[in-house]
Chains A and B, each alone.
Chain A
Amino acid sequence: MIWYFRQLAAGLACLLALPAFAQQAEAPIQALLVEYGDIIAKSSRKTIGPAIDALANSGLPQAQTVLERWQAKEMWRNKETGLFVFAEEVDRDTLRIFDFNDEGEIGIAPDDDFKQLKPNSGIRGMIGAALVQFQLIDPDPELRATALDAIERDPEESHLTALRATAQGEGNPVLAARKERLERLLTIRFGETDDERIAAIRSFEGDLGVDARATLNPLVATSVVVSATPLGGAEIKRIIEPGSEALPRSDAYALLVDAEMAPPLVSREDKRVALVANIEDGQVAGIEVAALGTEAARDMAYAALAATGKVEPVAEETEIEKTLQTFLFYERYTGASPAVALAAADVLSGIETKVAWNQMADLGLDALSLASIYFLAAIGLAITFGVMGVINMAHGEFIMMGAYTGYVVQLFVTDYTLSILIALPLAFAVTFSAGVAMERLVIRWLYHRPLETLLATFGISIALQQIAKNIFGTQARPLTAPGWLDGSLVFNDIVSISYIRIAIFVLALLFLALFLFVMNRTRLGLEVRAVTQNPRMAASMGINPDKINMLTFGFGSGIAGIAGVAIGLYAKVTSEMGADYIVQAFMTVVVGGVGNIWGTLLGASLVGTLQKGIEWLNPSNTLAAQTYMILFIILFIQFRPRGIIALKGRAAEA
């Protein structure tokens, strides 16, 4: 029933709104839109070109508004009259509509009568390119920047003149620099004379920008040509041998076949089809069909058929070789005139070396960042496992608890900066208490039974995971970084690192400092070291080992909670996030050497660098990188069972 009421209401609204339609259907801009109405409504990049051109070149004062509104998906078309308006949504079902001609409000109407025109990003790009002529001279610097973005995305020849015309008068230094650079890039692409283009090319010597390479690379494009006679000329880059890396033999032969200079090869499948087609009385060329169950027999039958002329003969291996020998294969520049191509190739080769170095630097940053994440995940363990010798399989779940604390705080505190500032200590508090509770209830009974600690804490781990699932659901929860951590620190187009990763790196350093301070400079640290080395002696000195163990374990757990907030910020918050890090964290501690924070640091660096290194060697399969890294670690531990930094003397026996 509700449905009918809604229809009725919509109908009424429609009736009420109708008298308000005082749209200026005769206005030239409307006439132009209606003329191209169908292709605008079709909204395909392939066909939209004429409509955008017509609007942009119409010279009508409203053209810019139309294009801008259209680009912003604010243009609507009346389903009945076919007239165009722009509109803003009042609510889900109603629109406030405006006339394009004078930008006056027409009235309020239900959106069922109108069809929203949603240009896809391809069309939006084209509209953007068409808008350049208006926006480039706009007094608003933001619009001018938009125009420059549009040029970068879809450069056109007309943009070059427009850029040159406005480059001089640009008051904004940032935009002026961009304009100058764009002008050079467009000159390379559309410059009239070779000299002009080469000069522009030379100006990009050593430039690391992706845009520069993107402009230069097409210029040095080549294609392989085949010729029976020697070719000369500047556009020939070099002669290539068939069978070399640049031109495998099969490709070379395929080229010849395409150029109809050689007979096509016959595949096994073709042979089979030919044989089947020539079966006569259960025989093919005199051979029984039943005997054709091997390739050799089929080859023989085919050869016999070829001898009778029923099928094309097969090219033998020796013939292929001979055919290839008789022709010459050349690589020829196709992207630009030879002079330009040579200049571009020269500049590019200089850039490539620099790019390679910068890529190494970027990889190094990635490795450093990954190492700091592992370090952060492992530092709590370095305390509970490394110092106390307690295997805590629920460590990952403490990380998870920290991350969920961050999420819950963000539910109540909507200011992201403030919420993170609250979340960090709160996460520490939550996981500190959880750690203390766990130590009191479970771990202290198991200090001399490490294997059972492992199992008991594992039980806690699966229970905590499931509880988190029951409370927060199974879907990943958002933990959003404050705005000032968005984006990346960009050194150039190759080397960059996101601020959030830098923050994690800084956090890792802070924790390292905190750890060193607490362990070496405070009474607590002294007592912790005493209790770890000899609990009975420590107790006789008036230290309460129970209390110290409890505090140490809480401290380690609390740090895991803070790490959880950081990891949640850069990746995801799910109930299983802890499990993703636990094995790697243990590896980090074990590889580094138990009981030494510097060892953990080295371990994290080794694991991080190694993983990135393997990823670099095999970029298409990240999973393989993880596998090989773990294998390496297993081997490493075989040879250095006590890790990189092994404790010596009495401490090692503890």
Chain B
Amino acid sequence: MTVKSHWEHFSHQADVGVRGIGATLEQAFEQAALALTAAITDPGNVAPLKMVRLSCSAPNAELLFADWLNGLIFEMATRNMLFSRFEVHLKKNSLEGKAWGETIDVASHRPAVEIKGATYTELKVAKREDGSWLAQCVVDV
């Protein structure tokens, strides 16, 4: 069965949950990264002009997922950028990622919130019954 990769937000009382679904674990991570951007602005309005490389490692897939999002949050904050295209390569306990985006333009992106960090609340990385992968957590805004 083919799974259409997609992202979604889920409700948390104070903050936002980000969820990525994909045919592979990598795709789920990439989709969740899009959900992260979508908490700030419409990813469709962010041009993938410049590429940034990220790498992270953690003892398990769930902490690695939180690390991936926290890596992106760090890059957004220190480079003053937003990202709209992602590529993830996973090895056992490490991740090599690329993110493409552009410098924040407040007038056109109108960022709704600044994300403080990816939390371990509702943190889950799992294979679903239909064979697709899910990666999710709540982010603190």
Asked if A and B are interacting partners, one says no
